Amino acid sequence: MTCSLLYLRYTHPVYQSEAVIKIGLVNNANAVLNMQNPQIYDAMGIGGNSLAGDIELMRSKLMVGRVLAQMPLDVTYYAQGNVLDYELYKQTPFEVQFELNDSNFYGVPVYLNFLSEQRVHMHFSSGAEQIDGIFNIGQWYTFKSARINVRILDYNLIEIQQRKIKQDPFYFYVNNPVNLIDRYYNEFGITVTNQFAQTVKISFKDYNSAKTADFVNTMAAEYDEYDKESKSAGANNSLQFINETITAIDSELKDSEAKLEIFKRANKITDPVQNAKDVLEHINVLVDQRVELQLGSAILNRLDRDVRTNQKVDQLLPLLAGTFTDDLVKSLVERIQALEDKRANMRFSATMENSAIKSIDLEISRQRNMLMNAIDNAKKSHLEKLNSIDDRINEFEGDFSRLPGKEAEMARLERFYQVNQKFYQLLLEKKIEFSITRAGIVTNNIILQKVEFLSLLFLRIVD
């Protein structure tokens, strides 16, 4: 009994908070576009749900870092007690502003004793620097380790604590963001409560009850925000590619349009193709085929660059949605995606040294090499088809040798303008499609059980 009482007396209580969320995502773009091609959503990662990937994301230090950035943890405040100290999370009666000069100042306790509402006794030791003096409240002071400014928020609470504890009743220290992530990363957990319903429980334990609730609720909110950002990444990647291609083709379109307009005005020609209708119809069909091949070549070039720079496969899939028709390249990308998903699932129960994971890594590497070879072959095939179409167009253009010189030149300029204009129009249509898709992404993550404390949170005056 005595040991139990001593344990309770000299040990901080540990609190644990839990929240349950249901993972989901909806895209309202289909209501606007009425798309009959659902692959575009699957390619961007919004057509289906990947519970394994979502759990891996929530377990990551990236997500912990985002959560901690939303919480007031750059400075930790404490009230000293005769037995145990108490962390004043969101309950501190004073506030410290700082500008760091030396990273060694991280974690250094700075002790405070408020002499009045205008003066405070402060002392700390950071490396070779020893500070012990009386300073004005609300005034910046510069030391070798840091610049510090102490502000009072509630002097009545300060007086209550200082009547209990006479020497160094308060102290604080500045947290190292990296160490903070490592510390809290080991204190929270993610578990699947129902795989089919896609419900997940978030738990966190700490010595401060308010902090445990805040961490869990912030994790749920930050995951919802990050989920929307990541699901929009596929559309953003495709839009970036389209914008780059539009910029490249825009100057060619303006140049061909200007030449055509100048020729029309100089020769007063309004309808130069009446005598060459059949020939131009054949050329127009070939022009349409060439535009599709141009887009395919641009996609292959972008894929080639991204694969060789080890971009994630799920960022490549949006480029293949809709108009890209090379089945071999598509199947290889989808195969790599399946292997990466399998690897993510296995990481829940196996380490990087596991033989099965190593085997999957080798297979992913082999499939990537096959994908690069397939892209090279597809690029050569597209180039050969483009050259073949250009040769056929040149053959048809030979028929214009029997036409008057002005009509032949006019038709040639018209063809160049049509090629650029159709390609440009196709890119604009794709840009609108992906823009609406991105705008329509809405997370459907529902917090089924939110952490709430019914008891009042107040400054605890420690004994």
* pLDDT tier, 463 (very low <50, low <70, confident <90, very high otherwise): very low
* 245 and 315 together in one domain: yes
Residues 385-395 have a mean pLDDT of 82
DSSP string, 185-240: HTTEEEEEEETTTTEEEEEEEES-HHHHHHHHHHHHHHHHHHHHHHHHHHHHHHHH
Is a pLDDT exceeding 70 seen at residue 270? no
Q: Name the DSSP class of 175.
A: P
* 123 and 256 together in one domain: no
The 3-state DSSP class for residue 98 equals strand
* Residue 185 belongs to a domain: no
Is a pLDDT exceeding 80 seen at residue 38? no
* 277 and 351 together in one domain: yes
Check: CB of residue 112 under 8 Å from CB of residue 122.
yes
Q: How many domains does the chain have?
A: 2
**pLDDT per residue as tens digits for the range 101-126:** 999 999 999 999 999 999 999 999 99
The 3-state DSSP class for residue 177 equals helix
**Least trusted range by pLDDT, from 30-39, 248-257, 397-406:** 30-39
Q: What's the pLDDT at 41? A: 47
* 242 and 368 together in one domain: yes
* Residue 15 belongs to a domain: no
* Residue 365 belongs to a domain: yes
Q: What's the pLDDT at 410? A: 67
* 239 and 341 together in one domain: yes
Is a pLDDT exceeding 60 seen at residue 320? no
* pLDDT tier, 79 (very low <50, low <70, confident <90, very high otherwise): very high
Is a pLDDT exceeding 50 seen at residue 358? yes
Domain coverage including residue 347: 234-442
Counting Cα atoms < 13 Å in the Cβ hemisphere of 360 gives 20
* 255 and 168 together in one domain: no
* Residue 219 belongs to a domain: no
Is a pLDDT exceeding 50 seen at residue 456? no
**pLDDT per residue as tens digits for the range 216-253:** 888 888 887 877 776 666 666 666 777 777 776 767 76
The per-residue b/e assignment along 21-54, b for 16 or more CB within 10 angstroms, e otherwise, is: bebebebebbeeeebeeeebbbbbbbeeebebbb
Task: Share the mean pLDDT of the chain.
Answer: 75
* 279 and 392 together in one domain: yes
Q: C-alpha distances in angstroms, 322 versus 48, 330, 353, 385?
A: 17, 12, 39, 20
**pLDDT per residue as tens digits for the range 162-215:** 999 989 999 999 999 989 998 898 888 888 888 887 888 888 888 888 898 889
Name which of 208, 206, 207, 210 is nearest 185 in CA terms. 206
More confident residue, 235 or 35: 235
More confident residue, 21 or 310: 21
Counting Cα atoms < 13 Å in the Cβ hemisphere of 332 gives 19
* 291 and 143 together in one domain: no
Residues 290-319 have a mean pLDDT of 72
* Residue 249 belongs to a domain: yes
Residue 418 CB partners (closer than 8 Å, separation 6+): 284, 287
DSSP string, 17-85: EEEEEE--EEETHHHHH--S-THHHHHTT-SS--HHHHHHHHHSHHHHHHHHHTSS-SEEEEE--SS--
* 139 and 242 together in one domain: no
* 396 and 286 together in one domain: yes
Name which of 360, 309, 316 is nearest 334 in CA terms. 316
Is a pLDDT exceeding 80 seen at residue 445? no
* Residue 53 belongs to a domain: no
Q: What's the pLDDT at 43? A: 47
Name which of 64, 68, 84 is nearest 76 in CA terms. 68
Q: What's the pLDDT at 8? A: 42
Name which of 117, 85, 112, 115 is nearest 96 in CA terms. 112
* Residue 4 belongs to a domain: no
* 164 and 256 together in one domain: no
* Residue 60 belongs to a domain: no
CA 367/CA 343 separation, integer angstroms: 14
Residues 134-150 have a mean pLDDT of 95
* 274 and 394 together in one domain: yes
